[in-house]
Chains A and B, each alone.
Chain A
Amino acid sequence: MSRRAVIQGTGALIFTFSIERLAFPQDGGPAAGAGAPKLPGSLTRNPLLDAWIQVDADGKITAFTGKVELGQGIRTALLQIVAEELEVAFEQVSLVTADTSRTVDEGYTAGSHSVQDSGTALRNAAAQVREILISEGAHRLKVPADQLRAEAGAVIGPNAARITYAELVSPNLLHVEAQPVSRLKDPSLFKIMDRPVRRVDIPPKVTGGQAYVQDMRLPGMLHARVVRAPSYGARLLRLDTGPIEKMTGVVKVIRDGNFLAVVAYREFQAVKAMRAVAREARWEETAALPRQSSLHDQLLALPSQDQVILDLHDSAGQASKTLEATYTRPYLSHGSIGPSCAVAHLSDGIMTIWTHTQGVYPDRQAIAQMLQLPPEKVHCIHVEGSGCYGHNGADDAAADAALIASSMPDRPIRLQWMREQEHGWEPFGPAMIAKVKGSVDAAGRIVDWDYGVWSNTHATRPGPAGSLLAARYMEKSFPAAEPKPLPQPEGGGDRNSIPLYRLPKARVTHHFLPDMPVRVSALRSLGAHMNVFAIESFMDELALAAGSDPVAFRLAHLDDARARDVVNATADEFHWNARSEPTNGYGYGFAFARYKNLAAYCAVALQVRVDQLTGRTRVLRVAAAVDTGQVINPDGVRNQIEGGILQSLSWTLFESVSFDSQRITSIDWSTYPILRFSSVPESLTVRIIDRPGTPFLGCGEAATGPAAAALANAVANATGKRIRDMPLNAARVKAAIGV
């Protein structure tokens, strides 16, 4: 029986390859022919099995992914998938993550896509590799394949016959194209997937191991710092670098147009030189930022590109009550705890960059363009950094390091941003506005819904060189790329702007604002945080108008069975129906969404106490339920949902980027406060709804929208006042309740 026949389960066509093993699987293999069934997950980006899984002659198994560990636990989850389908011990598999010379181009690690895209690819690849090895075993043992099974890294046959994978593998055995259909394991037989396996990256992180790009120390490495302009677009008027070059330990002061950097032998020498440059440099500042007090009115006045993304005209009952509301979100910071960092090394004409970017290939493209090098002369290797939660300073730091290293051949350069640079220059999550008008009939059914969302782009990531700060400020500068809206169904600013509820008459309009007065890009869940905040707040406003319980009102408008299950499970987990009347500042809130209307389902219920004197809101108890399809690591899912809830509570309760007419002024943790331990709930439980055998849905961003709206709904329930502007900080709540 042939490999292809084994994989497909049909036919007996011999399927062999004679082409050379590719040295660089990332350059893409043969694409599937037109009309061929679609390959699963990221196998579409490279169908060659050995681009994903390699089995060495000594039995060592290496899996390859174009996705990266961001602290979300993807490394462990992908290892679980491969070990499970390949029938080997978890410890026997190692994983190579995004590296432009070793892994498939899987774009960015973003959008809760890693498990769906890379996990699906690896699962299918592992299953197909297993079947190829069984087929090879059948050939060697001269036994039909259906009498063989794979177990513990070997093919087992009748009479205790056993051949290890190492014995079966030959150089080109796995250099074959994947097939569209794999023989996947039955979930009831799982031993490693769907189990709370401990994460492989945690032991080094809690024992002082080398865990991050910040920890890299290469021989001869020098330390660099950049000196950023005081405000967007500022021009360097003058700088006398002479005295700085004479400072102890300083190797070089780099000036390239409006890009400034210092390089020193020791890190703190670089910091001192950076401070000296910042003191000496004179700039012309031209930025004109919006007035913060009327930010949203100014955004609404910007030219917009309008697109109607939902337009329903079904018959509906007579409106008995009509409500209208406007919700706003400020600019939000990613606020990574570790400022962005990269190590770059120009050697033998190859620029190697170790970076915590979310996308090694797009970053390579942008940096190659900036340095005017062919992409194959730039090698980007992902090394973990501090959590990023979207497009933070990672790509910019990689570009900074590369630009510095390009003028210092053969010296590895470690560049780390300072706190004020990360806070001041990262691309923020965009400020947004949502306006909703909706009606219920006398029976409490929604009869019409008109929703508009105004937002800048949520995607200014690399590819183009102009996405990088260094490229924007260097002498031979690159312009920013034209901002574009991300298309539905995933969307950008309009992500999750279409409710999952049954709405007979509905219109949803995305008002895309191309002009960006403040640098913005992707923040975890993009527009979903704001849109779910607005939609789910408004659902509660309508429920109140209809005299309905918030959970019952949602269920009355939900047809999707899995959505209903998540809502019911959350209500049950929280004991929603046993909650007491809101009194003395205590209140309850509920919210639900399916992320992007196509990923994980998540609902959140929570209880708050609002201090009547100060307006301070304390979240006391949180319960959530999530349906993320087939679960790989339940503790990993739980960790992501817990983290998503707490991060969203921080955004929604406390956070707002501040600025004056020219400069960002929230440049550290005192000017940009976030959630601390004293604001953490007393309990937070997450119930996972198992859907064995269903597709992976991805859960990393599912909780942010529901958590934000549940909070707003609880504050409204506790105080009787609806607050529609984030953040719901003490000052705003105090003003609303009039104490």
Chain B
Amino acid sequence: MIELKVNGSSHSVSADPDTPLLYVLRDDLQLNAARFGCGLGQCGSCTVLADGAPILSCVTPIMLLEGRQITTLEGLGSRDDPGPLQRAFIEEQAAQCGYCIPGMMMRAQALLQSNPHPTDAEIVAQLEPNLCRCGTHMRILRAVRRAATLLAGPSEPATGIPPTSNAGARIESPDSEADSQNDARRRPAHSDRRERPER
């Protein structure tokens, strides 16, 4: 039996010591977020934190991880109480299929823990090992920038795509959305200009 500390709890695991952490997280602990992408340490979908540093759980056997604090995306918040990074990804709608996103988020989390005010170049460098196939990169970068803002200050009003309305209530208009997108704290990377031709 190997003792693993995951998201603050201890678990006795009966898997073989050479089993990569990913399979134990998914199959023994029933955690969904770390995902199998390549099993080769090439894509980053399986990224989790060990003592705050990103590791590729698909190629890291559990025998190397005894006594270390492992953090998965589930450790950053829940659907009912999402953490700042999770809120940022929801507010920026930073996913298409979403399969790669938890790995992206864990690498971002490692960066923001050690460097709360990263430059764009630092964010790009941090995420460089992780692959996204849907082409969601622009939104992922925006979400990480937003998360840095959320983590830095007291809670501020949410911008980005608003939550859905209650019955019959008018959802924020595209124009007010555009205003929020032009928030001066953020780069105007995302134009929401729309036009209605006369004809």
Contact = CB atoms under 8 A, between A and B. Distances in A.
A158 interface: no
B42 A205 contact: no
Contacts of B30: 217
Given A647-B135, A669-B131, A206 B101 contact: yes
Nearest to A210: B32
B195 A338 contact: no
Nearest to A669: B42
B92 to A, nearest CB: 10
Nearest to B45: A337
B103 to A, nearest CB: 9
Contacts of B163: 198
A387 B165 contact: no
Contact of B165 (A151, A191, A680, A689): A191
A205 B134 contact: no
Given A336-B133, A389-B133, A684 B37 contact: no
B64 interface: no
B124 to A, nearest CB: 5
Given A70-B97, A338-B45, A206 B135 contact: no
Interface in A243-274: 248, 266-269, 271
A686 interface: yes
Nearest to B174: A634
Contacts of B3: none
A212 to B, nearest CB: 7
A269 B18 CA distance: 11
A67 to B, nearest CB: 15
B142 to A, nearest CB: 11
Interface string B90-130: 10010111111110010000000000000000001101101
A675 B77 CA distance: 30
Interface string A636-666: 0011101111110010000000000000000
Contacts, number: 252
Contacts of A71: 95-99, 134
B40 A677 contact: no
Contact of B195 (A197, A199, A689): A689
A191 B38 CA distance: 43
A335 B125 CA distance: 23
A616 interface: no
Given A384-B97, A690-B194, A639 B141 contact: no
A267 B38 contact: no
B138 interface: yes
Interface in B149-185: 161-172, 174, 177
Contacts of B141: 677, 680
Nearest to B58: A419
Contacts of A623: 191
Contacts of B15: 266, 268
A674 to B, nearest CB: 6
A337 B133 contact: yes
A647 B134 contact: yes
B73 interface: yes
B98 to A, nearest CB: 4
Contacts of B35: 212, 214, 338
B124 A386 contact: no
Contacts of A297: none
From A207, A647, A674, name the one whose CB has the most chain B CB atoms within 10 angstroms: A207
B90 A198 contact: yes
Nearest to A564: B197
A669 B190 CA distance: 29
B2 interface: no
A393 to B, nearest CB: 14
Interface string B10-44: 00000110011001001100111101111110110
A359 B130 CA distance: 30
Contacts of B33: 207-208
Given A267-B26, A389-B133, A419-B40, A642 B167 contact: no
Contact of B131 (A339, A384, A676): A676
A569 B191 CA distance: 13
A266 B27 contact: yes
A508 interface: no
Contacts of B60: none
B124 A204 contact: no
A387 B79 contact: no
B16 A268 contact: yes
A208 B31 CA distance: 7
B189 interface: yes
Contact of A203 (B45, B82, B197): B82
A152, A209, A266, A339: residue with the most chain B Cβ atoms closer than 10 Å: A266
Contact of A338 (B36, B78, B170, B177): B36
Given A191-B171, A206-B105, A337-B132, A72 B79 contact: no
Contact of B135 (A87, A418, A645): A645
Contacts of B32: 208-212, 215
A202 B90 contact: yes
A88 interface: yes
Interface string A672-698: 001111101111111111101000000
A228 B39 CA distance: 17
A678 B129 CA distance: 10
A429 to B, nearest CB: 13
A92 B189 contact: no
A89 B93 contact: no
Given A206-B90, A208-B32, A268-B20, A89 B134 contact: no
Contact of B128 (A153, A387, A389, A676): A676
A482 interface: no
Contacts of A680: 124, 137-138, 141
B38 to A, nearest CB: 4
A235 interface: no
Given A268-B20, A647-B134, A202 B98 contact: yes
Interface in B50-92: 72-74, 77-79, 82, 86, 89-90
Given A217-B30, A337-B100, A670-B42, A196 B78 contact: no
Given A202-B95, A338-B36, A645-B135, 5 more contacts: A208-B74, A639-B96, A639-B139, A642-B135, A685-B191
13 contacts: A71-B95, A71-B134, A90-B164, A90-B165, A191-B165, A192-B164, A195-B174, A203-B90, A211-B98, A386-B97, A670-B42, A680-B137, A685-B193
